[in-house]
Structure 1
Amino acid sequence: MTALCTVPLWLLPLLALLPLLLILKSKQVRRTNLPPGPPKLPIIGNLHQLGELPHRSLWQFSKEYGPIMLLQLGRMPTLVVSSVEMASEIMKSHDLDCCSRPDLMGPRKLSYNNSDIAFSPYNDYWREIRKVCVLELFGMKRVQSFASIREDRVASMISSISKSTSTPINLSEMLFTLTDDITCRIAFGKSYKGREFDNGRFEEAINEAFAMLGSFSGTDFFPYVGGILDKFTGLHGRLEKCFQQFDDFYQNVIDEHLNNEKTESEQEDIIDVLLKVGRDHTGTAPLTHDHIKGILMNIFLGGVDTSAVTLVWAMTELVKNPEVMKKVQDEVRSSVGKKGKVVQAVVDQLKYLKMVVKETLRLHPPTPLLVPRETINHFTINGYDIYPKTRVQVNAWAIGRDPKCWKNPEKFMPERFMDNSIDYKGKHFELLPFGAGRRICPGIHMAASMIELTLANLLYAFDWGFPDGIKKENIDMNEEAGLTVHKKAPLYLLPINHSWDSEENIASISD
């Protein structure tokens, strides 16, 4: 009683309201229904649980916590979706609610902030720049206009391989060089391989960019203190140097184009197109040189590595599955005959080859965790509350191996796409190597054309054997995570020039 008497009279009404406040608070807590997720540690959250291959770690978690999970990665709440239904909710039903990008240090430092289409937040600038890219750079008509460049560089690679048929070749390295060369010629009009600039070589800057973008950045997970960690590890300095290398290189190339006008017989490259659009542009966002540099950065960082990785995995799966290899080679060779090479017009008719590419992208999406999105509004999904500023990761790798969607999901079986309308163009959420919705990769047609043409020519010109001591059963299929997921060990194969005479002899014996 004494204690009660010492309570100030003005405090008594507040004490009387306290039970009501607690009831309201409990109801508010119940209304805040967050998705499930694994237990987390202070400060670092769930970062320590991601492992060397985050897409596989998150796949294992989804088996326990379901296809929609909430993890805390450092200071970043991160929503992870791993099923067709949840991916459709995110990239279709709630596409506008989660179509922004998180403020990632690495990609943005190498992507001119708002001047690109891959990493910039959702705003007027992004919509304007994307419109330019879709209409002017990556439409089917523009992609077809670069067919001669792709055919020429692939033919050059095939010629080089044909001179080395007595020894195994590093196909991983050769395919990366090819996609880099094609991209350079499409973007700049010529190859810059080996060319020295004031700050180094272009291919060295590309390799350094890939290494850094696949590394851990403190500011991606700890916005305020992570910069100190990045300076301590040296990442900040490397990023600044690499960005300056790209900036100087792109400016030199742009200046060359401004000072040397093309003749009517010379083909326009991407810089020509962008400079022309910049002069004629009447939209709300001017197309500056920084915008052009940002778009070029997207093209190289998003196109070179991903196409090469897909080709390496396709050839790896084919040599491990010789019955599939024979079937696709028979299709290519019967369609082309003795013409000596496969051209783009023929590739469009190769249905089984396209199934092989789809199956490769299902099992080995080059970016298994799609480039992260960020929510801009509160919404509910599957009964759970999702709040603004939540990072969203779609595990395309897990969806591609979901037994609810795919029969024998671990088996390389292109026939699953026969009489099947599923494709990778963003309408079918079972297959998402390029994403979907507003943030779908605009370079789908460019990438598919390069991959299909290259693969068709490799299968047309050569039979493929293994180096001494290697059998299909012991090919290393381990992955190495980075900006894309590579085959950890380079793919060495023995090219064997295809003998058309022996094919005719077999045919005559059969007759």
Structure 2
Amino acid sequence: MHTNLVLGTTVAAAAIGYFFKPKKPKTELEVNSVPIPTVPSYLPLQVDSLLKYIFSVYAEKDEFEYLRHLSAQYGNTLNFRGFNEDLIIVLDPSSIQHILAKNQPNYEKGAEFQAIFHDFLGNGIFNADGETWKIQRHLARPHFQTSEFRDAALINRHVDELLKVIDKHLASNPEKPIEVQSLFCRFTLDEATEFLFGEAANALQDEDNDFATAFNYTQAITGWRFRVPLWRYVVPTRRFLKEIKKLDDFVYRIVDKGIAREEARTREQEKNPSDDEHGGKGGHENLLDHFLSQRQEYGFDREYLRDMLLNFLLAGRDTTASLLTFTVWELSKHPHVLEKLKREVAEVVASGTAPSYDDIKKLKYQKQVINEVLRLYPPVPYNTRHSVEEDVLPNGYYIPPNTTVAYGAYSTHRLVDLWGDDALEFDPDRWGPERVGKIKPFMFVPFHAGPRICLGQNLAYTTAQVTLTRLLQKYDIKASPGFKPELMADIVLFSRNGVEAVLVKQDLSEI
């Protein structure tokens, strides 16, 4: 995206499309509440503040540190206005709890959020409110129960393929750093598509995989829609819609095969009522079949199934890829943590064997490491809600009706007044038995919280732990000299320049 295009169209559209809104009389609730500190701006429609933020993203600076700097100046509840519209940012745990749990019905995704994501996600669970969201969540929950992936067999099968790709790289370039972010994105795409669709995308075998490329591009452009005011006029759509078509072609092909399979199964069951190959609802091998078994009852069409699958794919693929990426990054910088992890794996998992689900539960220090990565690098660093009615937060600040409210796990997880003077340091011991009691509810929300808490969080932990265990059994992890990631969030937290690490073959049984 060209800088002049962003500047010119944003300023021009602001100049001709918006006018100052007349002030509305204050309600009794507002009069008796505390006004939220507002980030000052000096140009009409707060154009200077908006452009400063856009440049902090576009000029390859750290947008998260920019927002942390604002909170340090104006507090943990602040109003970042643009085009005379409020964007209220909340970071304190009590306010996050209020929005996500205690008064959750008042805070919806909202029409603007849904418009931004609609081309990509349609009316799926990530983009839905009300009954649409409730039905999808109710139907999906059984497939994400722990029993569906206790033996971790599907995960281990895809880890086998991941290790083959790494070994191939090391065979030809043993000292060259590996860009692990791209590698983990392809790995989790394959694992997630099989778990959800029953058919893997095979991105690990093909770096230029059409579906993977389209998914990445679509996500990046959707991220810009989320950031840029007047996105309908600024963010390009021609290629975006072409890439959406590639996603649709892949998903609809699988959906149509699934519908044909389910219709054949239904006909067979009508002939032989006692023969149910799935053993009842909830026993299906993938999410698509799970939904298809209830298609007639709920009237799902192809588009509805497409939307649900892409929504769960976004949540399942990218969050785990982000978690694995930044875990490797932190381990490459902290060899003492890496050595302690290796010793734990060697003690718990028999040499030369893949970890079982029971093994994973015994890796206590590994879980501490992963929680610390999730604290510093929450996969969804910021999210938004839209207030339906006016409200007051627990700290007394007033929320107007019909207002966007953002809560930021990234910033909350790094607040010194919550986590101590070492809040920016990577320290898995803060999750140990001696200190974990200091972590209060809603201080740590990497998978959100309340009624919309992530259904796949247990699967994400399991995938990350199985994969990390297998990596530690086979490789040492070393830092790539001079490399530093540049954090960014399209929708999920990634590094715009990837993440490099040096992997060296080793035998864990000798440690």
Distance 2:400 2:471 in 1: 49
Report the RMSD for the aligned CA atoms in angstroms. 3.0
CA-CA distance at 1:55 after TM superposition: 3.0
Instruction: Please say if residues 328 and 477 of structure 2, whose CA atoms lie closer than 8 Å, have aligned partners that are also in contact.
Output: no
Distance 1:415 1:87, change over 3 A: same
Distance 2:409 2:88 in 1: 14
Instruction: Please say if residues 422 and 431 of structure 1, whose CA atoms lie closer than 8 Å, have aligned partners that are also in contact.
Output: no
Find out whether 1:140 has 2:143 as its counterpart. Answer: no
CA-CA distance at 1:317 after TM superposition: 0.5
Counterpart residue number, 1:482: 490
Structure 1 unaligned regions, length at least 5: 1-23, 504-511
Alignment of 1:425-464 (within 5 A): 428-464=441-477
1:306-363 superposed Cα distances (whole Å, 9 cap, x missing partner): 2111111111111101101100111011111313333333112100000000000001
1:285-309 superposed Cα distances (whole Å, 9 cap, x missing partner): x433322211111122222222111
Alignment of 1:388-403 (within 5 A): 388-403=401-416
Find out whether 1:414 has 2:419 as its counterpart. Answer: no
Counterpart residue number, 1:360: 373
1:161-196 superposed Cα distances (whole Å, 9 cap, x missing partner): 23443243322222111101101111222223379x
Distance 1:44 1:108, change over 3 A: farther
1:13-38 superposed Cα distances (whole Å, 9 cap, x missing partner): xxxxxxxxxxx989998557531111
Instruction: Return the letter of the residue paired with 2:135.
Output: E
Counterpart residue number, 2:400: 387
Alignment of 1:213-252 (within 5 A): 213-216=222-225, 221-222=229-230, 227=232, 229-230=233-234, 233=235, 235-252=236-253
Instruction: Return the letter of the residue paired with 2:354.
Output: K
Distance 1:110 1:270, change over 3 A: same
1:64-118 superposed Cα distances (whole Å, 9 cap, x missing partner): 2211112223354211012223222322332222133342333122111xx3111
CA-CA distance at 1:150 after TM superposition: 0.6
1:187-238 superposed Cα distances (whole Å, 9 cap, x missing partner): 222223379xxxx9322221221221222468x734xxx53x14xx5x2333
Counterpart residue number, 2:94: 85
Distance 1:289 1:366 in 2: 29
Structure 2 unaligned regions, length at least 5: 1-24, 266-275
1:38-69 superposed Cα distances (whole Å, 9 cap, x missing partner): 11342355422422244322221112221111
Alignment of 1:99-178 (within 5 A): 99-104=108-113, 105-112=115-122, 115-120=123-128, 122-134=129-141, 136-144=142-150, 147-165=152-170, 166-168=174-176, 169-178=178-187
Distance 1:25 1:183, change over 3 A: closer
CA-CA distance at 1:485 after TM superposition: 2.4
Question: 99, 105, 120: which is aligned to 1:96?
Answer: 105
Counterpart residue number, 2:344: 331
Distance 1:452 1:464, change over 3 A: same
Distance 2:365 2:494 in 1: 24
Distance 1:54 1:75, change over 3 A: farther
Instruction: Please say if residues 332 and 501 of structure 2, whose CA atoms lie closer than 8 Å, have aligned partners that are also in contact.
Output: no
Instruction: Please say if residues 316 and 491 of structure 1, whose CA atoms lie closer than 8 Å, have aligned partners that are also in contact.
Output: yes
Counterpart residue number, 2:198: 189
Counterpart residue number, 1:42: 44
Between 306-315 and 53-62, report the one with greater CA deviation.
53-62
Counterpart residue number, 1:277: 294
1:362-419 superposed Cα distances (whole Å, 9 cap, x missing partner): 01112211x2111111111222321221111111111111112213111111011111
User: How many residues align structurally?
Assistant: 451
Instruction: Please say if residues 110 and 239 of structure 1, whose CA atoms lie closer than 8 Å, have aligned partners that are also in contact.
Output: no
CA-CA distance at 1:422 after TM superposition: 6.6
SS at match of 1:161: helix
Instruction: Return the letter of the residue paired with 2:250.
Output: F
1:414-452 superposed Cα distances (whole Å, 9 cap, x missing partner): 01111155799xx82111111112232222122222111
Distance 2:345 2:391 in 1: 49
SS at match of 2:446: coil
Instruction: Return the letter of the residue paired with 2:368.
Output: M
Between 205-214 and 254-263, report the one with greater CA deviation.
254-263
Instruction: Return the letter of the residue paired with 1:133.
Output: A
Distance 1:55 1:495, change over 3 A: closer
Find out whether 1:294 has 2:321 as its counterpart. Answer: no
Distance 1:500 1:194 in 2: 29
Instruction: Please say if residues 313 and 364 of structure 1, whose CA atoms lie closer than 8 Å, have aligned partners that are also in contact.
Output: yes
CA-CA distance at 1:255 after TM superposition: 1.0
TM-score normalised according to structure 2 size = 0.80
Instruction: Return the letter of the residue paired with 1:412.
Output: F
Counterpart residue number, 2:507: 499
CA-CA distance at 1:482 after TM superposition: 2.0
Instruction: Please say if residues 172 and 490 of structure 1, whose CA atoms lie closer than 8 Å, have aligned partners that are also in contact.
Output: yes
Distance 1:66 1:354 in 2: 32
Distance 1:317 1:67 in 2: 27
Determine which structure has more spread, i.e. the larger CA radius of gyration. Answer: 1
Instruction: Please say if residues 62 and 68 of structure 1, whose CA atoms lie closer than 8 Å, have aligned partners that are also in contact.
Output: yes
Instruction: Please say if residues 413 and 443 of structure 2, whose CA atoms lie closer than 8 Å, have aligned partners that are also in contact.
Output: yes
